[in-house]
Amino acid sequence: MTEKNMPLWEVFIRSRTGLSHRHAGSLHAPDAEMALQNARDVYTRRGEGLSIWVVPSSAITASDPTDKDVMFEPTASKIYRHPTFYEVPDEVGHM
């Protein structure tokens, strides 16, 4: 008898009210409901969360880390997108 591989799930946890869910790790489970139960046991044994999301790992499309320069470097030269680029005298107060 050959065993079927269980799909991989990515686990996201909201640690406190108001915060977005953050990636915690992954696990194997046969379906979404069992993935949620497993995630509870694997990732929230010490009250780490208020809410869990599980997403099939195969549903995630990720950028290629080797593309990071092409993707993100162009913003490095756009210093005018930052507040500190503009001179506002101290007397004017915080802005």
Partner 1 sequence: MYAQALNTVTEVSKDDPAKLAAFQARIDAEEKIEPNDWMPEGYRKTLVRQISQHAHSEIVGMLPEGNWITRAPSLKRKAALLAKVQDEGGHGLYLYSAAETLGVSREELVDALHSGRAKYSSIFNYPTPSWADMGMIGWLVDGAAIMNQIPLCRTSFGPYARAMIRICKEESFHQRQGYEIVMTLARGTPAQKKMAQDSLNRWWWPALMMFGPSDSASQHSDQNMKWKIKRFSNDALRQKFIDATVPQGHFLGLTFPDPDLKFNEATGHWEHGEIDWAEFNRVVKGEGPCNRERIKARIKAHDEGAWVREAALAHAEKRAARKAAARIAAE
Interface with partner 1 by CB under 8 A: which residues?
Answer: 17-18, 20, 51, 78, 80-83, 85-89, 91-93, 95
Give 48's contacts (C-beta < 8 A, 6+ positions apart): 13, 15, 24
Pick the closer one to partner 1 by CB: 46 or 81.
Answer: 81
- Can you read off the two tokens belonging to residue 13? 């946890």
Minimum separation from the CB atom of position 1 to partner 1 (A)? 25
Minimum separation from the CB atom of position 83 to partner 1 (A)? 4
Residue with tokens 């640690």: 15
Minimum separation from the CB atom of position 22 to partner 1 (A)? 12
Separation between Cα atoms, residue 46 and residue 85, nearest integer Å: 44
